[in-house]
Homo-oligomer: A and B are copies of this chain.
């Protein structure tokens, strides 16, 4: 199955720091086609190298263009990423909707277009894109940092490409018999120590004790560790 590998185009980015952070975010999620339109401080850019943490060295050449029309010349479907509503008749997607959309475009060149930090894309630039992507956020504070927007979209793309299930590293719980042997010893030691005040309360206390100690799903090794704890606390070895 072909994977989603869209292009990211940063239009008139101001801060090299943000370009580098955007590159790092892309490469964190296996995306490498970064294009710049008229970066304010030129290119290459020392601050971008720093914040990219090596991504710019690894991901391949960043191409620089004078206009968005040139940068997007080979793109077949693009999203203008913008927080502000635009008075322009384009479909508006959320990130999940946009990723669902490009997933249906196997073999097509797709792209995400982001404007300058302070002002965002101009209307004529939005007009060059096929759709609008708006990231839903806190209505009182909706404007994401440029590189944060890139990260969020790259993450959603990565997840859509990722067929592997969640990482599972749960350990192996011991068999009940191992637990029971330990618990029987504990019960005897607690009886000797006067833990059970009355015979009437004892069955309930035992059930509650069992619940709290079983909940950790201890491994065989951990049950041995607890046996060691019992020996150390009482000065009596396991029989």
Q: Which of the four size classes fits the interface of chain A?
A: 35 or more
**Segment of A35-43, A69-77, A107-115, A140-148 in the binding face:** A140-148
The complex places the Cα of A209 from the Cα of B24 at a distance, in Å, of 38
Query: A143 contacts B53, CB within 8 Å?
Result: yes
Copies of this polypeptide in the complex: 2
**Pairwise interchain contact A94-B167, C-beta atoms closer than 8 A:** yes
Q: Can you offer 19 A-B residue contacts whose CB atoms are under 8 A?
A: A21-B145, A24-B148, A25-B144, A25-B145, A27-B141, A28-B137, A29-B138, A55-B141, A85-B169, A89-B219, A94-B167, A151-B152, A189-B232, A190-B232, A190-B233, A194-B232, A195-B232, A212-B225, A215-B217
Q: Are B212 and A215 in contact (CB under 8 A)?
A: no
Known: A143-B53, A218-B212. A195 touches B229 (CB 8 A): yes
Within 8 Å of chain B (Cβ to Cβ): is A222? yes
Query: Chain A, 187-207, contact with B by CB distance < 8 Å: what is the 0/1 string?
Result: 001100111000000000000
Of the candidates A55, A58, A145, the one having the most CB atoms from chain B within 10 angstroms of its own CB is A145
- Nearest residue (CB) in B for A236 is B233
Give which listed residue, B51, B152, B194, B235, contacts A193 with CB less than 8 A: B235
Q: Does A66 sit within 8 A of B, measured CB to CB?
A: no
Q: Are A162 and B136 in contact (CB under 8 A)?
A: yes
Give A92 to B170 CA distance when docked, in angstroms: 7
Interface set of A (CB-CB < 8 Å, partner B):
17, 21, 24-25, 27-30, 51, 53-55, 58, 85, 89, 91-94, 96-97, 134, 136-138, 140-145, 147-148, 151-152, 155, 158-159, 162, 164, 166-171, 186, 189-190, 193-195, 208-209, 212-213, 215-219, 222, 225-226, 228-235
B166 and A93 within 8 A (CB): yes
Given contacts A25-B148, A148-B151, A215-B218, 9 further A-B contacts (CB under 8 A): A21-B148, A28-B138, A29-B138, A30-B137, A92-B169, A96-B159, A193-B233, A193-B235, A230-B233
